[in-house]
Amino acid sequence: MALQEVCRWSTGSDRHGIYILQRAFIVSEPGWVRPGLETAVSRQLKIEVPLICGAMYPCSNPELVAAVSEAGGIGIIQPLSLVYVHGHEFRQGLATIRRLTDKPVGMNVVVEKSSKVYEERMRGYVDSALEDGIRFFVTSLGNPRWVVEKVHQVGGLVYHDVTERKWAEKGLDAGADGLIAVNDRAGGHAGPKGSMRLLDELGDLGVPLVCAGGVGDEGEFERALRAGYAAVQMGTRFIATPECRASDDYKSAIVKAEAEDIVLTERLTGVPVSVIRTPYIERVGTTAGPVARWLLRGRKTKHWMRMIYSLQALWSLKRSSVRSFSYRDYLQAGKSVAGVRAIEPVATIVERFAAAVVRGVSD
Ligand SMILES: Cc1cc2nc3c(=O)[nH]c(=O)nc-3n(C[C@H](O)[C@H](O)[C@H](O)COP(=O)(O)O)c2cc1C
């Protein structure tokens, strides 16, 4: 590895900088990455296991993010979850993560244009994260150009969440370095297409592809890498861990649920979100009301409507993640619930997934 490349990762880091620099040399020794685990993503991000814990509002707490990185994957900070749900001042939250791990972590930027206040705040978070040495960003929704411009200036990387080719091309035009292919089994805002179809559709774009959605056990992890994905981004599986601060009721609901229990509802954010079907959802249905739908379609009104939905969702998801389950709560999860059979520590999960790939390669 070139010294330049190593320095790129330690630039701007805090007092751990020298240690990270030393570590980067140590871990880049040949043979460090176990067979089958070295991919374009593990090389670019300098991680041991090509496994990303995707950003999750409201489930990304510092302990979860740090635990995934410490175990050899990479945890992604969700800034609103860090500040608004888990009560950290942003930089103090980053410092908490840094106390728990000195390995790389990433940050999510939901590129939402409907509120100036939100955009300004997000720009501030990105600047602070860059000053604190974070060099990997995952953008979702809008055009990632402003994030790419800031991040590339210091030699970092931006991967963009996409659900189909036209968004992938827009993301790459804006300078994204990799794509996270969000499929129809994902938690959060699922896409319309399956993982293998997305691999076909995006495979010739010349950047690393990450599979997001439906991976809940080590067999699916191994299959995704074998099929040609350079990494997997998981969300749901990591909620059912002791490190995640979600309520025990939420974790148990994930462990008990089957893929058929996951439905898409528009009632939370105005666009389809994957949730566990509960008696409340059965009663109120999964489609937005006629007035909301009409407002969401209008050229001017759609931004206002999206903002109202977003604020409402921020509040109701925060409430339902951290306290015991109440009838009206929404429990976000993807179809990967089918592979989640127990609440297990992050390190156990990451190691089991990694070992399955290593075994598969050596068989
Ligand atoms: C509870 C929950 C919240 C999520 N919140 C976000 C978010 O704030 N930003 C984002 O880009 N993706 C979000 N996602 C998507 C995840 O980062 C990841 O892509 C997805 O969970 C992968 O699918 P899986 O849940 O089947 O593993 C969320 C997913 C879940 C389950």
Could you tell me the distance, in angstroms and rounded to a whole number, from the CA of residue 187 to the centre of ligand 1?
A: 5
Count of CB atoms situated within 10 Å of the CB of 234: 30
Is residue 4 over pLDDT 70? no
Query: Ligand 1, from 236, 239, 273, 320: best to mutate by most atoms within 8 Å of Cβ?
Result: 236
Residues linked to residue 253 through DSSP beta bridges, in sequence order: none
Rounded to 10 degrees, what is the CA torsion of 89, 94, 99, 105? 160
- Is the C-beta atom of 183 inside 6 A of ligand 1? no
Is residue 5 over pLDDT 90? no
Ligand 1 atom nearest residue 55's Cα:
17
Q: For ligand 1, atom 7, which residue shows the shortest CA distance? A: 56
Count of CB atoms situated within 10 Å of the CB of 198: 27
278 by Cβ neighbours in 10 Å (0-12 / 13-18 / 19+) ranks as middle
Instruction: List the one residue out of 210, 166, 216 whose CA is nearest residue 192.
Output: 166
Q: What is the pLDDT of residue 29?
A: 40
- Is the C-beta atom of 213 inside 6 A of ligand 1? yes
35-246+340-362, what's its fold? TIM Barrel (3.20.20)
Is residue 360 over pLDDT 60? yes
Is residue 320 over pLDDT 60? yes
Query: Ligand 1, from 52, 57, 247: best to mutate by most atoms within 8 Å of Cβ?
Result: 57
What does the block give as tokens for 299? Answer: 């050229």
Q: For ligand 1, atom 10, which residue shows the shortest CA distance? A: 55
- Is the C-beta atom of 57 inside 6 A of ligand 1? yes
Count of CB atoms situated within 10 Å of the CB of 352: 13
Q: What is the pLDDT of residue 363?
A: 72
pLDDT in tens, 176-189: 999 999 999 999 99
Query: Could you tell me the end-to-end alpha-carbon distance of the chain, in angstroms, rounded to an integer?
Result: 30
- Is the C-beta atom of 336 inside 6 A of ligand 1? yes
Q: Is the dihedral of CA 295, 300, 303, 304 positive or negative?
A: negative
Q: What is the pLDDT of residue 136?
A: 98
Could you tell me the distance, in angstroms and rounded to a whole number, from the CA of residue 215 to the centre of ligand 1?
A: 12
Q: For ligand 1, atom 14, which residue shows the shortest CA distance? A: 188
Give the C-alpha separation, 244 to 344, whole Å. 10
Is residue 251 over pLDDT 80? yes
- Is the C-beta atom of 108 inside 6 A of ligand 1? yes
What does the block give as tokens for 46? Answer: 């300098």
pLDDT in tens, 205-228: 999 999 999 999 999 999 999 999
13-17, 72-76, 85-89, 353-357: least confidently modelled range: 13-17
| pTM for the model | 0.87
Residues linked to residue 188 through DSSP beta bridges, in sequence order: 274
Q: What is the pLDDT of residue 321?
A: 65
Give the C-alpha separation, 250 to 257, whole Å. 11
The residue type found at 41 is: V
Could you tell me the distance, in angstroms and rounded to a whole number, from the CA of residue 15 to the centre of ligand 1?
A: 32
Q: What is the pLDDT of residue 127?
A: 97
- Is the C-beta atom of 188 inside 6 A of ligand 1? yes
Is residue 233 over pLDDT 80? yes
18 confidence band (pLDDT: 50, 70, 90): very low
Q: How far is CA 146 from CA 62, 93, 152, 168, in A?
A: 26, 24, 10, 16
Q: What is the pLDDT of residue 16?
A: 39
Is residue 23 over pLDDT 70? no
Could you tell me the distance, in angstroms and rounded to a whole number, from the CA of residue 334 to the centre of ligand 1?
A: 8
- Is the C-beta atom of 110 inside 6 A of ligand 1? yes
- From-to residues of CATH 3.20.20.70 in the chain: 35-246+340-362
- Is the C-beta atom of 269 inside 6 A of ligand 1? no
The residue type found at 57 is: Y
Is residue 19 over pLDDT 60? no
Phi, psi of 211 (to 5 degrees): -90, 125
Q: What is the mean pLDDT of residues 305-324?
A: 66
